[in-house]
Amino acid sequence: MCGINGIFHFSKSDKRPGELELMNKMLAHRGPDAEGVYEEPVIQLGHRRLSIIDISEAANQPLKSADGNLVIVFNGELYNYKSLKEQLADYPFKTNSDTEVVLAAFQKWGEHALRAFNGIFAFAVWNKTRQELFIGRDRLGVKPLYYFLSNDVLVFSSSLKSILSTKRSAWHISKSGLVDYLRYQTVHAPGTIVEDIHVLMPGHFLKVNEDDGAVFKEYWSLTQAKATRPGSMEQAQKAVCDQLSRSVEMQLVADVPFGAFLSGGIDSSLLVALMSRVRDQKADTFSVVFKEDQFSEKKYARLIAEKYKTNHHELELSVTDFRDLIPEALSFMDHPGGDGLNTYVVSKKTREAGVKMALSGLGGDELFGGYSIFKQLPALQQKKWLRSFPAYARRPFARLYNKVNGTVASSKISALMSLEEFDVEDIYQYYRQVFMDQQIIRLVNFPKLSPNRVFEITREQVGYKKAGYSLPLLSKISIAEMSTYMQNVLLRDADQMSMAHGLEVRVPFLDHELVELVLTIDDRFKNPVSPKKLLVDSFADLLPEEIYNRPKMGFVLPYEVWMKNELRQFCETHINTLKDTGYFQADELGKIGHAFFAGDKNITWSRIWPLVVLSNWMKENNVR
């Protein structure tokens, strides 16, 4: 797990002294173990290494192929590298690293090697003979890859900040990105918050050469589920049990100390149980616990740790300790967002305990129906009586309902009541929306809003007559969650906040073969009548009832109290700073801030905090 940088020059006179070195410097926290560069007239490649597999100097990067024709920079882990190495026995390997296996596979199979890889990655391979650059990203988008493309140059990196450091443009906030951010506290790929900087989409690769320019291609998508569909509940449970067990076993390969995050929830508890079952030695588990019981799940984490006899580490914080880490955490935020601070704290404490790799339960909720949307959306679709009234007849009642109630929830209900259709893409777009469009129009300083990206993404993935239309309804919701919230919030936060401390996070629930399997399973086997029922029933002998038969707690902290007290000046200063950017209506921004601090329950902390984070990020990165 590392950080990669690169610059492809369409114009050979475009090189700027010290540019690649500065980009590498911006990635130092991602790879504290080693640094390397490779340069030719057309290409520059940079690497910062976090050593996990084959920690010898021979495996440092950039790494050349045996014949010297290919050069690679690789960020990630290839979990099936040992089995692939057996298929590449004719290659003269010089290291025991997974990176060299990627290089050998690419030399033999070209772009088709991507389909053979099981792992999390973003990498670039330079072909000296063809003078061609190839960049690939993993299927689910676990590892990031940002890029800036102009007529003169392609700049790419694991870090948005690294690209900003090049000053290749007078960086400005993207208006469409800003609207997306106000709607969802994030910007959905391929866009970013910065105009002209983009994200290589998950399951895609990019080829670059002087003749053809930049050519993008998809090699995998969530709707291309290839697994055999189980025909019974028993078959579904066995298939889930076998595939998740294989995923955990495969991802426990490392040459450094590692462990698992253990919150005491279903997903992390199950991973710890499987770790203990597939390994002879005790697992190391890590929980951040709070002195204040109302914020802590330590009794559930202890229950699992005692059951599986792990070396359990309780990393105790007070909510004040957590609050005091917020400015430090924001300084490492590569792309602004409304969440992620919990991951920063957990990763910081885990890394300080001497661990360089940890398993996370991320992805379990999205895949097995752990959120309320998995019940709410099917229930709404079943209300066929709503469709008996045309949308034009429902809209006056919707407006009246919202006017009478005036809450965030009522504005969403009003929007739903006004819909022409009740397909997944129509309903889902409102589920995680923070500011509704009528609020954003009053808030921003430009007259027209960009199209809703969550609607566009969901329609593209599982909309009517699209590739995913034949999938079960719950699988469509899973795809909507994984393509939007998971990839653009959870995975981004997990990467940027864990790598701030040089900690690699692996996600066994996002093994692509497991994902393909679960997406094929019929709704009658996945129906979430209880939390993640299929997952729990597939491992009935591993989890105590106290773990799955309780309310979902999550990582709840008193942000509102902090923001109105100890962090008030910090928040007010950054909201006022946004007024001067030219992107916002200053009066409306002031009204929202005043309403929050005055105790207006319709302006929650989760609507103000992303604005504070955005302002802080813009200031730190000199983006206006």
List the catalytic residues. Answer: 2
Answer whether 162's CB lies under 8 Å from 5's CB.
yes
CB within 8 Å of 85: residues ≥ 6 apart = 93, 101, 104
Tokens of 48: 């910062």
Tokens 């809209």 locate to: 395
Answer whether 607's CB lies under 8 Å from 465's CB.
no
Sheet architecture: strand order including 357-359: 311-317, 284-290, 258-261, 357-359, 504-506
Tokens of 46: 């940079």
Question: What stretches of 467-561 adopt beta strand conformation (E)?
Answer: 504-506
Q: Which of 196, 94, 214, 206 is nearest to 145 (CA)?
A: 206
Distance CA 84, CA 160 (A): 32
State the DSSP code for 443: H
CA distances in angstroms from 413 to 337, 395, 433, 558, 598, listed in the order given:
25, 11, 12, 27, 26
- Helices then strands, counting H and E runs in the chain, come out as 27, 17
CB atoms inside a 10 Å sphere around CB 350 = 28
Instruction: Specify which residues 73 forms β-bridges with.
Output: 124
DSSP 232-256: SHHHHHHHHHHHHHHHHHHTT--SS
Tokens 């404490």 locate to: 349
Q: Which long-range contacts (CB under 8 A, 24 or more apart) does 390-395 make?
A: 391/418, 391/419, 391/420, 394/418
Ramachandran assignment for 532, one of left (phi > 0), alpha (psi -120 to 50 degrees), beta (any other) = left
Distance CA 465, CA 261 (A): 41
Q: Which of 212, 213, 39 is nearest to 126 (CA)?
A: 39
CB within 8 Å of 267: residues ≥ 6 apart = 361, 362, 363, 364, 365, 370, 509, 532, 535
Antiparallel, parallel or unpaired: β 258-261 and 284-290? parallel
Peptide bond into 62 cis (omega under 30): yes
Antiparallel, parallel or unpaired: β 284-290 and 311-317? parallel
Answer whether 106's CB lies under 8 Å from 117's CB.
no
